[in-house]
Amino acid sequence: MDLFEKLNSRPGPLGEFTSAGYGYYTFPKLEGPIGPDMKFNGKDVVVWSVNDYLGIASNPEVTKVDKEAAAEYGFSIPMGARLMTGNSDDHEALERELAEFSHKPAALLLNYGYQGIMSVIHSLVDRNDFLIYDELSHACIVDGKQLAICETAVFKHNDMDSLEKQLQRATSRLKPNSSILVITEGVFGMTGDLGKLKEIVALKEKYSFRLLVDDAHGCGTLGHDGSGAGTELGVQDGIDIYFGTFAKAFALIGAYVATEPNVVEFLKANVRSQIFAKSLPRALVISARKRLELIRKHPEWREQLWKNTNALRDGLRELGYNVLPSESPVTPVLTQGSTDLCTTIMRVLREDHGVFVSGVTYPVVPKGMVLIRLIPTAAHRDHHIEKTLKAFAAIHDMVSAESAKLSA
């Protein structure tokens, strides 16, 4: 069979929505400066779908540095991979600053989070090792596991008995040159709950393993200094490899791991997605340095983020919505319903109320459920929250009628 023909019968997890909903439910174009007020299809909307948690994307100090760095270096410099010709003083300075920020002795920049962590996982383990990861891990961890040539096992989401069973199983089969790597997330991005980092770190008393934490959503938003879920939970020291990305609170591209110097040295020479790929443009790295400086300097942004998060959640709960008990700013509203309900909620909120939210259905959540995920930021103001709560009040009867139909 012709390969391209065969692809027609493999529509992907979103099915017909990938193309039928193109430009609206999938691949929508939000326009204007990043912030709570943007344009969608020419209309003004209040946006709850971008991970610019601290409202840093449109910060004037940041945009000034962006312009100056782009004027000085353009977007090509440096060319090549870091290892060959793609290094600069700014890349190295940012690594030192990220290490300090993460309370680790060393850090390594990654040119994209997804490829970076996938490839870090791949490089860390060999055929004698065991990799054990949380079942709700992000796709990049699952793909990293696919690349890894070691034995892999999954533990039930945040279930320490399940993790311990896997640790016992792996430990009983260790050869002299075998090691165990456990991977979880700081914040689970769809539901907003935190990884059980304290409990996992405590298991190190009983079992010998190293812990890698993907803290994409926690980095910049959690902990008194923004250094993430490990600091928030008081166990940053117990995380052996901390992964953060610039794709959320930094509102940029790029990522990093922070760990021990010898591990960074190993990764520099072994992470294939970095060795065989162009490094981040210097202008972007300069911008990341500025963003990091501001994230560290402005704890009040995190306070505002939490104020907005709590106001939004309290309001939604008062209206009768089921807001999942998220421990991070991620605000998930779960209801029973079909894919049709999901698209109707998004469409009615966007068209009739000027409120832009994103929703997901199966396979991201169980069949018959709809999850609307709102991302509050420090840049939202009371009027954005009020407008949004009014909109959710207006659709409440429609949403509960649909749920009632399904549970009847």
Q: How many C-beta neighbours within 10 Å does residue 307 have?
A: 16
Helices (H), 216-338: 229-232, 261-270, 272-275, 282-297, 299-318
Return the number of the residue (134 or 402) whose C-beta is nearest ligand PLP.
134
Regarding 138 and contact with ligand PLP (CB under 6 A), the answer is yes
The residue at minimum Cβ distance from ligand PLP is 113
**From 98-106, 110-118, 225-233, 272-280, span contacting ligand PLP (CB under 6 A):** 110-118
DSSP bridge pairs for 263: none
Which residue from 216, 233, 258, 389 is in contact with ligand PLP, where contact means CB under 6 A? 216
Return the number of the residue (129 or 185) whose C-beta is nearest ligand PLP.
185
Residue 375 sits at the vertex; the CA angle it makes with 371 and 381, to the nearest 5 degrees, is 130
Which residue from 48, 101, 114, 250 is in contact with ligand PLP, where contact means CB under 6 A? 114
For 105, phi then psi, to 5°, come to -75, -20
CB burial string 228-264: b at 16+ within 10 A, e below: bbbbbbebbebbbbbbbbbbbbbbbbbbbbbbeeebb
Regarding 108 and contact with ligand PLP (CB under 6 A), the answer is no
Distance CA 149, CA 123 (A): 10
Regarding 291 and contact with ligand PLP (CB under 6 A), the answer is no
Distance CA 400, CA 321 (A): 9
Regarding 143 and contact with ligand PLP (CB under 6 A), the answer is no
Regarding 52 and contact with ligand PLP (CB under 6 A), the answer is no
Distance CA 338, CA 326 (A): 23
Which residue from 52, 143, 185, 232 is in contact with ligand PLP, where contact means CB under 6 A? 185
Shortest spacing between CB 190 and ligand PLP, in angstroms: 9
Task: Give the footprint of ligand PLP on residues 187-206 (CB under 6 A).
Answer: 189
**From 106-114, 163-171, 326-334, 380-388, span contacting ligand PLP (CB under 6 A):** 106-114
Do the Cβ atoms of 280 and 51 come closer than 8 Å? Answer: no
Distance CA 78, CA 380 (A): 36
Which residue from 86, 113, 195, 223 is in contact with ligand PLP, where contact means CB under 6 A? 113
Regarding 218 and contact with ligand PLP (CB under 6 A), the answer is no
Distance CA 259, CA 212 (A): 10
Return the number of the residue (326 or 344) whose C-beta is nearest ligand PLP.
326
Query: What region does 370 belong to: left with phi over 0, alpha with psi -120 to 50, or beta?
Result: beta
Regarding 155 and contact with ligand PLP (CB under 6 A), the answer is no
Distance CA 335, CA 395 (A): 13
Task: Give the footprint of ligand PLP on residues 234-263 (CB under 6 A).
Answer: 245, 247, 255
Shortest spacing between CB 127 and ligand PLP, in angstroms: 26
Residues that bind ligand PLP (CB under 6 A): 112-114, 138, 140, 185, 189, 214, 216, 245, 247, 255
